Amino acid sequence: MLYVKEIFKSIQGEGFYTGKNAVFVRFTGCNLWNGKNKDRLNSQCSFCDTDFIGTDGINGGTFDEKSLVEKINLVWNKTFSNNKKYVILTGGEPMLQVTHYLVESLKKIGFFVALETNGTFQTSNIPFDWVCVSPKNMMSWQQREGDEVKVIFPQHNLNLDIIKKMKFRYFFLQPMDGSKKQVNTWNTINYCKSHKPWFPSFQIHKTLNIR
């Protein structure tokens, strides 16, 4: 069974496909943090701003692969019937649950299938159309190639000079949210000005207050 926190339509607010209509599927659970605030500082990822615990979000639940594909298609058709179908599998860490069959089934009914992952699992055996990796540390990082790499900035345990030599098509730096967001934004812009190929990515959906 597949555990899904929520399924919702929105626009992609960050990275290469910013502005594109999408259905987001947020899978339950992550391998770098258990989602409990009391354990945040001892986790491998301590700045998460996402609720990925449980299955109680909008359209969330427990699905078999067939019923999840039907649900995603239903959410898309309710709102975006005229566009090219685009689904973003995210989390939490979607690679804990996503299967070859699920992705293939979505593609069969016309979806462009994008993955947003922390990179701790290899993705090459699953036929995604787009792989976006947002790494959290060099040690646990397995998937070191793909379409875009999106580094939340600053992260002192990531080496940007090593990362920029990896096989990604696009290299994004995204200011870390939170109390230092403004200074992180300026530092991101300044770093990108003098360090190719890094390019800034902003969470436009938050600025526009779009869910």
- Interface positions, 41-100, toward ligand SF4 (CB under 6 A): 45, 48, 50, 52, 91-93
Q: Which long-range contacts (CB under 8 A, 24 or more apart) does 124-130 make?
A: 125/100, 126/98, 126/99, 126/100, 127/100, 127/103, 128/103, 130/16, 130/17
If DSSP codes are grouped into helix, strand and coil, which group holds residue 141? coil
- Interface positions, 18-37, toward ligand SF4 (CB under 6 A): 30, 32-33
Sheet holding 130-133, edge to edge: 61-63, 2-11, 21-27, 86-90, 112-117, 130-133, 145-153, 167-175, 198-200
**Cβ of residue 49: shortest distance to ligand SF4, in angstroms?**
7
Asked if 132 is an active-site residue, the reply is: no
Q: How far apart are CA 5 and CA 178, in angstroms?
A: 23
- Interface positions, 137-196, toward ligand SF4 (CB under 6 A): none
**Cβ of residue 108: shortest distance to ligand SF4, in angstroms?**
28
Give the per-residue contact string, 96-135, with ligand SF4 (x = CB under 6 A; - = no): ----------------------x-----------------
Catalytic-role residue among 48, 111, 153, 192: 48
Asked if 27 is an active-site residue, the reply is: no
Q: Which residues bind ligand SF4 (CB under 6 A)?
A: 30, 32-33, 45, 48, 50, 52, 91-93, 118, 136
